[in-house]
Each structure stands twice: as structure tokens, then as C-alpha cells.
């Protein structure tokens, strides 16, 4: 790793760590809100009911910010379509050229598509598309799909015995968040639920951060045939 790359790594880590810490502090404020102020029971119940929605927004916001930061640092490296790893290349092409998923029917649109595709193929360098598709539901599969798109190590379902991140994220956090966001109050949220959601998000943010740091240091963004 060159001194320039080491500097970029430290900047990347500093920026993501700062964002992670700010989000952890926000969740701590949410967690202790009912302890710091004398809410009525009805107000306390209302706050807890929608606290999971707030915690989820912190989680999805972290994914967006962390990967946009990663993309921004990668775009400083002068990557080309030959030197970048295939997962990132596929991610960029699919994000930039929507025509691959919905092929144009009008001839002039087909010509425009192939002209832009040819320009991309002939360019010396390119900037990775900064759009991160979270599908507005960053569940376990979506999270690992995003990591895979950037050539990063996927997250194991069981970081420790009998603790399933898939279950906690999909069946607990997302289930309650989606119910509350759509006005379904049949799922009652208590303080233990809030504590559990915060613990989950803090664990996931740390795991994602570690993979982004490792990927940048190990240059997993490079095509292996050009990484020597």
C-alpha cells in the first residue's frame, strides 16, 4: 500500500467512524429519552411505539452514508474498467445503464444507449455510481447483496451461537418498523424491544465498518489480474 493509499484509508476510517459514533449517540438519546423526561404513560407508549422506526432510519442512513463515503474514496483512485473488480463493475453498469433491465423499444433510444455504452467502454477512467440501492428495507439479504456488489466479505448469519442476525434484522427490527410505519399498532413496543433494536444496529454497523476498512486496506476493489 502506497503512502497516498494509507492516507486515504485513514480518512475513510475517520469519516465513517465519526458517522457511526454520531448515530450511536443518537440511539442513546432515543433510548434514554423516557428516563430523562417525565412523560405521561400515554406519551411514553407513543414514543416507544415509533422508536423502532427511528432506530431503523439510523441503520439505513448509516448504510447509505458509509457506502457513499467508500465510493467517494474509490473514485479518487483512478480506477478503470480493466482494473476494478468485477462485482463493482457490474454494480456500476447496472446502476448507470438502466436499459439492461428495461431494454428500450424506440430505435433512437437504442442508438443513444449504445453510444453511451461505447463511450464508457473507451474511457480511461470512470467514477463509480454513488447510488446505493437499499430497496428501502435493509434486511439481511439486501445487506449482503450490497457488500457483495462492492467485493466485500458478506456477514455471517450467526456471529455467535444462537444469535441470528437474519432473524433479528428481518423478523424483529424490520417487522416492527414496517408495521409502525404503516400505522399498524398491533405490535406493541416496550423498552426491552428498543434496547434490543439498538444493540442489533450497533452490532451491524460495526460489522459493516470492519468490512469496508478491510476491503480498502486489502484492495479488494481491484481486479485480481491487475492487483499485483
pLDDT of residue 109: 82
* Gyration radius from the chain CA atoms: 21
Q: What is the SS3 assignment for 103-153? A: CCCCHHHHHHHHHHHHHHHHCCCCCCCCCCCCCCCCCHHHHHHHHHHCCCC
170 by Cβ neighbours in 10 Å (0-12 / 13-18 / 19+) ranks as: middle
pLDDT band at 90 (very low <50, low <70, confident <90, very high): very high
Least confident stretch, 34-38, 123-127, 128-132, 190-194:
123-127
Tell me how crowded residue 23 is: count the other CB atoms within 10 A of its CB.
20
Q: pTM for this structure?
A: 0.88
Chain-wide mean pLDDT for the chain? Answer: 91
pLDDT tens per residue across span 148-172: 999 999 999 998 889 999 999 999 9
pLDDT tens per residue across span 169-211: 999 999 999 998 888 878 899 999 999 999 999 999 999 999 9
Amino acid at each position: 500500500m502506497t503512502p497516498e493509499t494509507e492516507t486515504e484509508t485513514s480518512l475513510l476510517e475517520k469519516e465513517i467512524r465519526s458517522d457511526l459514533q454520531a448515530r450511536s449517540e443518537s440511539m442513546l438519546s432515543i433510548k434514554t429519552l423516557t428516563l430523562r423526561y417525565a412523560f405521561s404513560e400515554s406519551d411514553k407508549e407513543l414514543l416507544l411505539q415509533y422508536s423502532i422506526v427511528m432506530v431503523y432510519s439510523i441503520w439505513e442512513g448509516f448504510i447509505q452514508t458509509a457506502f457513499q463515503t467508500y465510493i467517494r474514496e474509490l473514485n479518487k483512485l483512478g480506477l478503470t474498467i480493466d482494473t476494478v473488480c468485477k462485482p463493482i463493475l457490474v454494480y456500476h453498469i447496472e446502476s448507470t445503464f438502466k436499459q439492461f433491465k428495461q431494454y428500450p423499444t424506440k430505435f433512437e433510444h437504442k442508438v443513444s444507449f449504445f453510444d453511451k455504452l461505447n463511450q464508457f467502454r473507451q474511457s480511461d477512467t470512470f467514477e463509480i455510481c454513488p447510488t446505493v440501492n437499499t430497496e428501502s428495507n435493509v434486511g439481511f439479504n439486501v445487506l449482503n447483496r450490497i457488500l457483495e456488489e462492492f467485493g466485500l466479505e458478506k456477514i455471517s448469519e450467526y456471529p455467535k451461537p444462537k444469535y441470528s442476525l437474519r432473524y433479528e434484522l428481518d423478523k424483529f427490527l424490520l417487522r416492527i418498523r414496517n408495521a409502525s410505519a404503516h400505522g399498524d399498532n398491533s405490535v406493541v413496543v416496550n423498552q426491552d424491544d428498543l434496547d434490543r433494536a439498538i444493540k442489533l444496529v450497533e452490532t451491524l454497523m460495526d460489522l459493516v465498518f470492519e468490512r469496508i476498512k478491510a476491503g480498502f486496506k486489502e484492495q479488494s476493489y481491484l481486479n485480481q489480474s491487475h492487483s499485483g
